[in-house]
Structure 1
Amino acid sequence: MFRDEVGHIASSNVQAGRAANAQSQTIATLLLCENSLLRVGLQYILSGSCFSVSDINFQEALSLIGSSDPTPKLYLIDASEASGRTIEIAREIKGKNSSARIAMIADHFDLSFVQAGVSAGVDGFCMAGSGRDVLIKSLELIMLGERIVPGVLLRSMLQQASMPAEAAHASMPTNQTPPDPRVHKLSPRETVILQSLMGGDPNKVIARKLDITEATIKVHVKAILRKIGAANRTQAAMWATGHLPPGMGISAKA
């Protein structure tokens, strides 16, 4: 299941502890990038972070897959060409180092490429245009087991997932489609937050919209997941797409 950059269900305290541990450890990182300018740029961006990037070129990096010492915990692949070869490199990495995390970086991704990448074992897809802090935080989340997908692709996936439900809804008589009772369990503020999840907004953005703290957002998200029976934020957003009536949650008061 796809998750956005904060799509996990651990408690905020546990998550904070895991993130702190990830930041305090040095993570051996192998960068596979044919574009020398991009490679140098990424090395510079990641310098000073917990990610220790090997200073080698693309061909040397390819030869070290599964055999370098120390064994990389993270492989960062330039996916600018979005080719079948890129997918095969990811599949080879996973076959030789199954415990490693794999992230791809590019200016843009299409949905079919992301789906192929996930099947090959890719854990996250990062936008090259992201700021330094966003990229590093995304990689840290990937190391914590999260799957990172650009918000625009997440929205596309949600729209595709909602199409069968919308078609089924259109073909059924009105008297056979009562509102899901779980909708009424949500407070107005939880409904507003759920609508933001549908748009792929991270906690920081939602908190800024509602003028409350990220910690409060995390508490609300956890309550939403429990009330609607979703395992993570993406499942919650997909559920909301098919069940949340238009116009709900206009008021953000708890």
Structure 2
Amino acid sequence: MAAQVIAYVAAQVPGAAHQPDHSEPTVTTVLVCDNALLRIGLQDILRGTPFAPAETTSSAIPAVVHDIVSELALVLIEAGQNTSHMLEVIRQVRGLAPQARIIALADQFDLGFVRLGHEAGVNGFCLTATAPETLIKSLELVMVGESILPFAVLRAIMDEAPQKQDQPFQDNSVAGGCLSDLKACKLSAREMQILSCLREGAPNKLIARKLEITEATIKVHVKAILRKIGAANRTQAAMWASQHLTQRGGASVNV
């Protein structure tokens, strides 16, 4: 049976305004994109649709959002390599436009970024390789209150679920005991730095560049961190870090 797509109802879209020369409403849209080719391609795809960007800007100057915050309804943000920076941009945009819908665009998403992005205020995640007509439908769904997640990410979540179910209950208890007392985990200063980076969803390559050490060394530290805090993977480590590193004075490490 063919998948059903919820019809685009203009009246439900906040920030939609009818223009005298168009039959469809225009959704006040801002495109935050550093990649020139991607920006041009998106502008071309969205031209003639209700989502044609009213403004385009780079991630270095999201303040342009402030100029049209009263009308803003949709923000498309390119989620590039610098994960921590993009999450900060998302938080800034969400702070400026609490009612706007935010969609993150990237070549691929990992579970850590999806979780952190959702916490920061992202309403939908779209791949840059998405077909134009699919992208438009995705934007329409987000504007009527739905959430969008690439199937590849959903499949990763589904694949991870059986692993969690297979974990003995006592393992969770051990991890819980470790989580309740950061000192008991006996993390080194370097491991604390790396764990802070994992909390931001940073990949090994970016962490290695920040700390000026090799990726192989990062992998060794990550394995040690997972063992010490009782996490099964990087995503669980990031979730643990976001819940516990900031709860104790001096525990959060700025890299």
TM-score category of the 2 structures, normalised to the smaller one: 0.5 to 0.7
Distance 1:29 1:125 in 2: 16
What SS does the corresponding residue of 2:9 show, helix, strand or coil? helix
What SS does the corresponding residue of 2:109 show, helix, strand or coil? coil
Cα separation, partners in 2 of 1:29 and 1:166, compared to 1, 3 Å: same
Displacement of 1:38 in angstroms is 1.2
Counterpart contact for 2:75–2:102, Cα < 8 Å: yes
Displacement of 1:144 in angstroms is 1.0
Distance 1:104 1:16 in 2: 22
Distance 1:56 1:101 in 2: 16
Match for 1:100: what amino acid? A
Counterpart contact for 2:106–2:127, Cα < 8 Å: yes
Corresponding residue of 1:32: 32
Corresponding residue of 2:7: 16
Distance 1:48 1:168 in 2: 55
Counterpart contact for 1:105–1:125, Cα < 8 Å: yes
Unaligned runs of 5+ in 2: 17-23, 170-255
What SS does the corresponding residue of 2:52 show, helix, strand or coil? strand
Distance 2:41 2:27 in 1: 18
Unaligned runs of 5+ in 1: 1-5, 7-11, 170-254
What SS does the corresponding residue of 1:66 show, helix, strand or coil? helix
Identify the range of structure 1 (42-51 vs 159-168) with the bigger mean alpha-carbon deviation. Answer: 159-168
Measured against aligned partners, the alpha-carbon deviations of 1:82-130 in whole angstroms (never above 9, x if no partner) come to 5111011111111121110000111111111111100101011111111
Match for 2:7: what amino acid? A
Distance 1:17 1:143 in 2: 8
Corresponding residue of 1:216: none
Match for 1:28: what amino acid? T
* Root mean square deviation, CA, Å: 2.8
Q: Does 1:42 align with 2:42?
A: yes
Corresponding residue of 2:206: none
Distance 2:37 2:8 in 1: 35
Cα separation, partners in 2 of 1:100 and 1:59, compared to 1, 3 Å: same
Aligned residue pairs total: 158
Higher relative contact order (CA 8 A, sep 6+): 1
Compute the TM-score of the two structures, normalised by the length of structure 2: 0.55
Measured against aligned partners, the alpha-carbon deviations of 1:173-197 in whole angstroms (never above 9, x if no partner) come to xxxxxxxxxxxxxxxxxxxxxxxxx
Distance 2:85 2:156 in 1: 25
Match for 1:112: what amino acid? G
Cα separation, partners in 2 of 1:28 and 1:61, compared to 1, 3 Å: farther
Measured against aligned partners, the alpha-carbon deviations of 1:107-161 in whole angstroms (never above 9, x if no partner) come to 1111111111001010111111111101111111111111111101101112223
Compute the TM-score of the two structures, normalised by the length of structure 1: 0.55
Corresponding residue of 2:104: 104
Corresponding residue of 2:159: 159
